[in-house]
Structure 1
């Protein structure tokens, strides 16, 4: 006597589960240009590394002899696997079974996936394709009662944000709790044309709000590219998986580990000649910050997040001599690089992300200050700007400020903790103060200009007089800025700094004093 019959029955049920929603529904799903849930998992993880948990969970029908005559698998698949050799947890919706809704799921599987990541201190990746919520009203009809809604495992969802990297991919029409699972992450990505994200789908919106919209019009990429609900867009599901793998390569598996350092073949002493002239002498002429980044950081190491939300601020990961760092910079082509309500939120979230996972931060500053005017005031920009500044002041990870050009006002002053060690270098193009000289002269000398017979000549005279005063060399004489450097020395100096920074990081391992929120 052996247990071979039971193992054969187990294998039979596993095979039934691999058929997902059945041949017809799988074909319909793929006809929409989407991969099946199992193809997604195989495409994301290292080949052959997936170990599934709860494979035969589902709903069975039995005959009078107790034999299974029909089986519908749960529409949520979970397990562990590896990405670039590092272990991760994966939880994925199967849209071919009840459209990914919770009434086709075994709710405990989602909870278990979050618990697995939380307790084993492993990154978790959610491949979301469905509502993940309470399902349709038909479910209520079958059960015979309603219920007070609860978000399953939300204590673990919140807890994981403080412990392990959390990544989410929006891979279909995702609504309600499914949308919340995408947003409750450190990094999220959606796919052009095949994915949409919304609190409620078009039928509910039409009934409740009178807005007759398609899925794309309500929650497609054109909506969320700039909404801030999702970080990045992908051309295809394969592109989304590649972005996930790249994002995770900069982060440790948990807050109890250091970020992974990779071998680098880029000379840490590299000095790019173009840097000496990359900032125009004319302060009114902008420059392209994305052309500067590869001159400073390791080649092919830059991974940008949220490019189109709060676009005046650029946030990305990069490496210096193989060491991962977070990078913030200003894009002069969007609001002059100034702080908007959106870019302030972006800074706050990014700094908190780096703080949570112990990534040193390089801040390339050309900050004209908070954006002014009535639209800005209506958005409460000052409060959101103060929250961003507070995040910088609360951060304990090593931070280096490189002043490329402007540092003005409250916004500029808040780009580094001026009450700490305040490590920083300035380029000779530096220009700073409470407000730009051009605007400040009009304010400070308003009466003189109004009383002058030739206000234009007086203004020109005042500006010429101020030009020498605003020289960064004058500030350095007063030790108002610690060091002005040749821009070509930026990379060597940063590579030396980052090695020192990583010597300090072991003292900071563990959860941050203020937990990370989405």
Structure 2
């Protein structure tokens, strides 16, 4: 087609058909080579991802006629279809979302001028409407052929827009291919990130790394296992894109559309809220015997509602969404199966992030505490632990959502405060009979107080240890009303659900009085 007015159709029907043909040319069925390229990579197309993610017949697309910064907008219709990005609005489980899907088959999904204009439009819809923004990303950042010499691209606002959106409406990101530079920046600014195992992710790709440093690396060096297990920079890794899409949809089911709304509440299941006797054998009264905290989490949450985040990163701490009596909750629990449940730098970072998200979107926190303390030693200090250990406490002090704290076994030292301690005014603060709460374990206290005293005999030392152990028992805290109750473990779920019911039906306020400050300053 060309721009000669004399060759244009004479009727509205013909003019309409002309545009319909132009738009149809951007769809997958008219781009067999592009579809075949994705199939060769074992990947879905950008449009297939959108179609499978949103509810059927709910997607409204914007900018389908977009194309790479053209001199002739009436040139080849297929060239640069939609300029490498599909954007629009849709619904997930009936709730509105904004969707962005980068198309690797168009200039490697790179960020060109029109491409950025479209992404800016998607961000603004999400910001102004207060609905989640969901991004499917792959690509290597800016389209250099269109960027050199340009300083007035609206897309440069992408980072400030996403920063403004943070905590206002959920931001989700799916890493579906090789993702570097500007595309990786989008991942870093998302609340929730899921990554397919065939993808890779990094600030710079192998070619740029080679050019800048001479180091030979491959996409495998930046794979999902690195980010899921070693770094904790993503929340889930999946085998397939269909699994990835299912994770995105499920994550959204736990969150409101924006922070002005309460967390979603589901109908209460017709089950007995009292736990069966098996919980009594799940957790050993022997403080040194490990057990899998994930089993307890599954017991106290509504059946089938557990959605754990970062399951392979810092497994000594469990962070999970779930429901209790239909109420959406976030669960934070120590896991004695890994490092005895001790807290370290990675666990602190994982916890901080989860508190932040739950507080931003009005999700009450439930703590299941069995923590011997923080890891110590020169190796731990070299991880900057003394600062990282403060970040969860700082996040708790900033948060306003209700918390319910259940001390299952150990709660010693600073880690007790970190795990929803009394100073953060839990709506419910209870202990199991197996709980032990103390500034320090009995053996450690005796070693510090009497370890260098030659007059203390082994028998006296044992008596001192027994004395301090008795002081750790929850009966002492209960007698002094330092806790709300010592409960039958079988009543854990019941006690928390009744507290959540009370909070939902009252004007319950959580946390401290707050000074009229502008903002807090997070530990570095």
Calculate the TM-score normalised by the size of structure 1: 0.91
Whether 2:211 is the aligned partner of 1:203: answer: no
Alignment partners' CA distance in 2, 1:415 and 1:147:
48
- 1:22, distance to aligned residue in structure 2 (A): 3.7
The one-character-per-residue Cα deviations of 1:475-509 (angstroms, maximum 9, x if unpaired) are 3222233310000001111111111222357989x
Structure 1 gaps of 5+ residues are: none
Q: Equivalent of 1:130, from 132, 139, 155?
A: 139
Q: Equivalent of 2:436, from 431, 451, 456?
A: 431
The one-character-per-residue Cα deviations of 1:399-430 (angstroms, maximum 9, x if unpaired) are 11001111111121232253354331100111
Root mean square deviation of aligned Cα: 2.6
CA contact (8 A) 1:107 1:152 kept: no
Alignment partners' CA distance in 2, 1:269 and 1:405:
22
Alignment partners' CA distance in 2, 1:516 and 1:157:
20
Q: Residues 331 and 230 (structure 1 numbering): CA distance in 2 closer, same or farther, change over 3 Å?
A: same
The one-character-per-residue Cα deviations of 1:70-103 (angstroms, maximum 9, x if unpaired) are 4422101100111111111000100000001113
Alignment partners' CA distance in 2, 1:477 and 1:239:
51
Q: Equivalent of 1:49, from 55, 58, 66?
A: 58
Q: Residues 62 and 179 (structure 1 numbering): CA distance in 2 closer, same or farther, change over 3 Å?
A: closer
Alignment partners' CA distance in 2, 1:501 and 1:481:
19
Structure 2 gaps of 5+ residues are: 1-9, 511-516
Match of 2:505 in 1: 503
Match of 1:409 in 2: 413
Equivalences, count: 503
- 1:366, distance to aligned residue in structure 2 (A): 1.2
Alignment partners' CA distance in 2, 1:103 and 1:251:
32
CA contact (8 A) 1:287 1:332 kept: yes
Whether 2:45 is the aligned partner of 1:39: answer: no
Q: Residues 427 and 313 (structure 1 numbering): CA distance in 2 closer, same or farther, change over 3 Å?
A: same
- 1:304, distance to aligned residue in structure 2 (A): 0.5
After alignment, is 72-81 or 267-276 more displaced?
A: 267-276
Match of 2:346 in 1: 342
Match of 2:316 in 1: 312
Alignment partners' CA distance in 2, 1:34 and 1:19:
13
Match of 2:92 in 1: 83
Q: Equivalent of 1:464, from 450, 463, 466?
A: 466
Match of 1:214 in 2: 218
- 1:379, distance to aligned residue in structure 2 (A): 1.3
Calculate the TM-score normalised by the size of structure 2: 0.90
CA contact (8 A) 2:228 2:236 kept: no
- 1:178, distance to aligned residue in structure 2 (A): 0.5
Q: Residues 161 and 60 (structure 1 numbering): CA distance in 2 closer, same or farther, change over 3 Å?
A: closer
CA contact (8 A) 1:268 1:491 kept: no
Alignment partners' CA distance in 1, 2:30 and 2:143:
17
Alignment partners' CA distance in 2, 1:271 and 1:503:
24
- Larger RCO (alpha carbons 8 Å, 6+ apart): 1
CA contact (8 A) 2:227 2:233 kept: no
After alignment, is 232-241 or 457-466 more displaced?
A: 457-466
Alignment partners' CA distance in 1, 2:297 and 2:401:
21
Alignment partners' CA distance in 2, 1:442 and 1:120:
60
Whether 2:122 is the aligned partner of 1:102: answer: no
CA contact (8 A) 1:20 1:96 kept: no
Aligned to 1:416, the other structure's residue is in SS state: coil
Aligned to 1:362, the other structure's residue is in SS state: strand
Match of 1:487 in 2: 489
Q: Residues 505 and 288 (structure 1 numbering): CA distance in 2 closer, same or farther, change over 3 Å?
A: farther
Q: Residues 516 and 179 (structure 1 numbering): CA distance in 2 closer, same or farther, change over 3 Å?
A: farther
Alignment partners' CA distance in 2, 1:515 and 1:12:
55
Aligned to 1:238, the other structure's residue is in SS state: helix
